[in-house]
Amino acid sequence: TAAPDLAGRHVVVSAGGTREPLDPVRYLGNRSSGKQGYALARAAAARGARVTLVEANTGIPDPAGVDVVHVGTALQLREAVVKAASDADAVVMAAAVADFRPAVYAPGKIKKKDDGGAPTVELVRNPDILAELSAERAVEGQVVVGFAAETDDVLANGREKLRRKGCDLLVVNEVGERKTFGQEENEAVILAADGAETPVPYGPKEALAETVWDLVTPRLRGLPGL
Ligand code: C5P
């Protein structure tokens, strides 16, 4: 019953959380459930878009009518998102991407030392995919959307992050012990590079997803031939 206001569009959504392997059995990960990204993908499909969902470690079944690419690490997620973004009208980065990965991958399981000592894990920075996509824009007028989970000074940090990342919209939500991660409900403010600010009241992730697309749609470039 949704208006097909994304018909003829290709949108890319990332969802879930990356895992950065230390050895064959261990990784650095995060608590992202992927629920918000899946809600975004389903909503876009219902509004008529061709949807590519780049999924990291959610365990959620593939939604009907959505092209799903499964990845594990930040570097794999970057490769899949950049590839899908090459002809996309909009890219929404809902995934929790690890900022760091272990500098070396141990091909065998890291063993406990006999001397009772513990290994030191050296980390290196992962690329900031959202910042790269925003700076490069594979398609002129492509709309790029990011998410930011903040624990304090939510609005001030959100505005600063929007500027730093260079995206068009930033969905900012407050996180804490029992907020957002893995929950069914979400509360957010969507900040736009053009200065608009849209509060989204506490409610289901589906409702936030619809509001994101409501804000993306008027910012899309004109379709050829229209
Ligand atoms: O900087 P921070 O991690 O708070 O930014 C969150 C936003 O940036 C999310 O949209 C996330 O998908 C994206 N991100 C990214 N690459 C990273 C880290 C975060 O694209 N390495």
CA neighbours closer than 13 Å in the CB half-sphere of residue 73 = 16
Catalytic site residue 30?
Answer: yes
CA distance 113 to 111: 6
Tell me the Ramachandran region of residue 114: left when phi exceeds 0, alpha when psi lies from -120 to 50, beta otherwise: alpha
Please tell me the distance between residue 225's alpha carbon and the centre of ligand 1 in angstroms.
35
d(CA 114, CA 57): 34
Ligand 1 site-directed mutation target among 77, 79, 129, 134, most atoms within 8 Å of CB: 129
How would you write the pLDDT of the chain (226 residues) with one tens digit per residue? 678 999 999 999 999 999 999 999 999 999 999 999 999 999 999 999 999 999 999 999 999 999 999 999 999 999 999 999 999 999 999 999 999 999 999 999 999 889 999 999 999 999 999 999 999 999 999 999 999 988 888 899 999 999 999 999 999 998 765 565 667 778 899 999 999 999 999 999 999 999 999 999 999 998 876 5
Q: What is the position in ligand 1's atom list of the atom closest to the CA of 129?
A: 20
- pTM for the model stands at 0.95
Q: Which ranges of the chain does DSSP label H, i.e. alpha helix? A: 35-46, 74-85, 129-136, 154-165, 205-216
**Both structure tokens of 108:** 């065998």
Tell me how long the chain is: 226
- Could you tell me if 80 and 53 are in contact, meaning their C-beta atoms sit under 8 angstroms apart? no
Q: Is 128 in the pocket of ligand 1 (CB under 6 A)?
A: yes
